[in-house]
Structure 1
Amino acid sequence: MSCSLSRFFFKTHIYSMKSTLHLDQGTMLAHALRGVETCFTVAMEDSYESKIGHEEFHPDAVFREMAILANELSNLFKTGLTPCQEAAFVNHLLHSLAWMVYGSNKIEKAGSNSEITLKLCLAIFCGKEIPVEIEEQDQEYLSLESLISQNLPADTSAVLRSRREVVQHVKTAAFMIDQLCIRGQDLSEQIILEAHRILTYKVDAETTPWKEYSGVYRSHEVSAGLHAFPHPSLVPYRMKSMFHELKCDLKEATKNGTIDPIALASKYTHIFVNIHPFIDGNGRMCRLILNSMLLKFGAFLACIGVDEDDRSINMEIAMNGGALEYLYEDAEQEEKPKLHKELASYVLGHVKRSMTGLVSAVAQ
């Protein structure tokens, strides 16, 4: 996996940087249709909100800043990276993926602390073999027990669960990146179900054993606060509808030759999480969908939830998105506004931050 992953990142950015992203648009390489390389012009859509929570946000300016950073990276690629810069490039991206897993787990109060998460993520992404199970006498178990940072008793089951939540999450991320970005597959029902199976392997939900819910749509009603998600009988239909809509959006993008990777990924993250198709793991799955689509169509990453303040903002945006879904539940499709605009602005800010770090790492 590690060789393929490194080649993907490096090849994608080389192709992306062959022409600069002047201000808010430019040409990038993306795999829009299965097995077909399609060049798009990256153009900002009218899919962003001017506020994130209660704070003002200026999406036009942030998008331009992100494009300027892409130009800087482009110039570095055009002059040719030194071996040290290539190593810094791959190292920074691998660490970003590890922070992506850490933050997503922390939002759900899952996984372990940053030190353990980074160690496990980097090992798996670099293709190292790690034991599936560990024993209490193992050195890794002793390290986990002493470093565990969740509000859980550090007994055997809690320690082993925290480790498994990290391992399965990073394996799922590797699977989705491999399918969508390296193999060029489209996001599909089969990929989603298999990804969820990997994510929840041997991880019991609060009231449901893993074998009963892993990789299958829920058969129970679920809600978040006062917001009830679609009845379980509607989940398969809603999911098929989501994939059909994505296919239509990609065909339209191919026809027009333009795409906004951040708006597109945010849209389907919003749709997925408001279907809430699984008993558990929906939040982590929606952020894996977000980042695999960002990587596929823009070679971008968004490391969400790394610090407590960001987790609070993320929760507020999720609640706002759910409230909008409820408000427009009975509206005709053509009457609905874009319900993912605040999420798109939030993701845009994180993508710019990620791009800033990448440019800084490579430019040194």
Structure 2
Amino acid sequence: MATLANELSKAFKTGLTPRQEAAFVNHILHSLAWMVYGSNKIEKAGSSADITLKLCLAIFCGKEIPEEIEEQDPEYMSLKESLISQNLPADTSAVLRSRREVVQHAKPVVFMIDQLCIRGQDLSEQIILDAHRILTYKVDAETTPWKEYSGVYRDHEVSAGLHAFPHPSLVPYKMKSMFHELKCDLKEATNGTIDPIALASKYTHIFVNIHPFIDGNGRMSRLNLNSTLLKFGAFLACIGVDEDDRSIYMEIAINGGALEYLYEDSEEDEKPKLYKELASYVLGHVKKSLTELVSAVAQ
């Protein structure tokens, strides 16, 4: 990792040629689009890679895209064919939802990078609530209309398999506690004493095990992860792009939930780093992405 970072730093110090600069920007934009694609695929949401990249790149480049499309639109037919090829429902509502799941995922990427990386804000409760509101705009949950859960903490219990997440009455407290701990860690991070991968992985693990929303927790956790990685100088972790990677990621998430349950009554100073497996996994993805970035700029 250090060698790759040094290579990239050296390239910037000597100055990028116009071609290298274009390659750098192109690689960043495509990496962000792949991040959205993989994150959606983990949740069995969104659309094909081609459609996802096309929509994401348009949004990342600041282009206005229509909120709705008509059935005669070529894009509609591409979305429909993508659903049919996966043996999924392909009626009008399913087609429009698959498109919206891409569009509304790309938009909070822009929002969170703007807040954390450009404006220099720290990840906060308000940023997460606002990002979730964007992510879930007009996307109904399985049993709840979007207007009732978008940008607000859940009001009923949820579980994954046998693992029950905290009671909804505890969610506001646990979120505030998380941000208090994050604030303390950030003081150390700005002094260079915390690895950004460890920092991002730790709060991704905590967030997803609070599971504060009725829907969108997984996608939000990965938005938190990648915006934090970018803010503190690491690169992106494009998780879930292929099926094998999704299986590994889900196994790590399940293991993390089991550890939370195992140590839930332990004092904080008695707990091991419950996010250690996730951090190792994220490190591998960041290293891969950084290698590809260095290669793109060097060509």
TM bin, normalised by shorter chain, reads: over 0.9
Cα shift readout 1:287-344 (whole Å, capped 9, x = no counterpart):
0000000000114110000000000000000000000000001011111111000000
Residue correspondence of structure 1 range 199-348 to structure 2 within 5 A = 199-254=135-190, 256-348=191-283
Q: 1:175 aligns with which of 87, 111, 119?
A: 111
Q: 1:360 aligns with which of 271, 295, 299?
A: 295
Distance 2:219 2:96 in 1: 19
1:194 matched to 2:194? The reply is no
1:117 aligned onto 2:117: no
Distance in 2 separating the partners of 1:214 and 1:242? 21
Q: Deviations over 1:177-226 (max 9, x none)?
A: 11111111111111111111100000011111111111100001001111
Encode CA deviations 1:206-256: one digit per residue, 9 max, x unaligned. 1111111111000010011111000000000000000000001112334x5
- TM value normalised by structure 2: 0.97
The residue correspondences of 1:34-53 to structure 2 (distance < 5 A) are none
Higher strand share: 1
Once the two structures are superposed, what CA deviation does each residue of 1:40-81 show, in whole Å capped at 9, x if it has no partner?
A: xxxxxxxxxxxxxxxxxxxxxxxxxx1111122122222221
Query: Which residue identity does 1:168 align to in structure 2?
Result: Q
Bigger helix fraction: 2
Q: Is the 8 A contact 1:196 1:215 kept in 2?
A: yes
Letter in 2 for 1:318: A
Aligned to 2:9: 74
Q: Which moved more, 1:331-340 or 1:116-125?
A: 331-340
Number of equivalences: 298
What is the TM-score of this pair, normalised by structure 1? 0.80
Amino acid in the other structure paired with 1:138: D
For residue 91 of structure 2, the aligned residue among 144, 150, 155 is 155
| Alignment RMSD (CA, Å) | 1.0
Q: Which runs of 5+ in 1 are unaligned?
A: 1-65
Q: Which stretch of the first structure deviates more once superposed, 148-157 or 169-178? A: 148-157
Which residue number corresponds to residue 68 of structure 2? Answer: 133
**Alignment identity in percent?**
89
Greater CA deviation, 234-243 or 297-306?
A: 297-306
Distance 1:173 1:361 in 2: 22
**C-alpha displacement of 1:142:** 1.9
1:219 partner SS: coil
Q: CA offsets per residue over residues 248-275 of structure 1, 9 Å max, x none?
A: 1112334x54231000000000000000
Q: Counterparts of 1:3-22 in structure 2 under 5 Å? A: none
Q: What runs of 5+ residues in structure 2 fail to find an aligned partner? A: none
